[in-house]
């Protein structure tokens, strides 16, 4: 399985920005899907932004227009640029990659948005 390591979380005020990064231990070219999920306290993990088959991007309605996912193939890294952050974006953000039917998860990075 692909090893994933997230970075870039932290504390930010509402309206601010953060950039998350997810480094993969292997090439991300062959992933069928790769991206970001989040889990807020007391809630289920939900998809935030995904790159599907290396080309198509999908976003949750709640982040569309504010978050941008991008892939950096040279370094096997996927980024999530988060702008206009809201308190409801507070959660642990997890990186996920699906390849050959196997799903891999990172350990997560905390994002806290203060009002």
pLDDT band of 62, cuts 50, 70, 90: very high
17-58 per-position pLDDT tens digit: 999 999 999 888 888 899 999 999 999 999 999 999 888 999
pLDDT band of 1, cuts 50, 70, 90: confident
Dist. CA 42–CA 95, nearest whole Å = 19
Residue 73 — φ and ψ, nearest 5°? -70, -30
Dist. CA 105–CA 47, nearest whole Å = 13
């Amino acid at each position: 399985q692909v090893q994933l390591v997230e970075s870039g979380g932290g504390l930010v005020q509402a309206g601010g920005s953060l950039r998350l990064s997810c480094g993969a231990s292997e090439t991300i070219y062959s992933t069928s899907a790769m991206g970001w999920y989040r889990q807020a306290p007391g809630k289920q993990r939900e998809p935030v932004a995904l790159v599907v088959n290396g080309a198509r991007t999908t976003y949750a309605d709640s982040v569309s227009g504010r978050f941008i996912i991008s892939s950096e193939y040279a370094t096997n890294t996927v980024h999530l640029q988060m702008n206009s952050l809201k308190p409801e974006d507070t959660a642990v953000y997890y990186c996920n990659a699906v390849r050959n039917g196997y799903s891999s998860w990172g350990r997560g990075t905390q994002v806290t948005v203060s009002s």
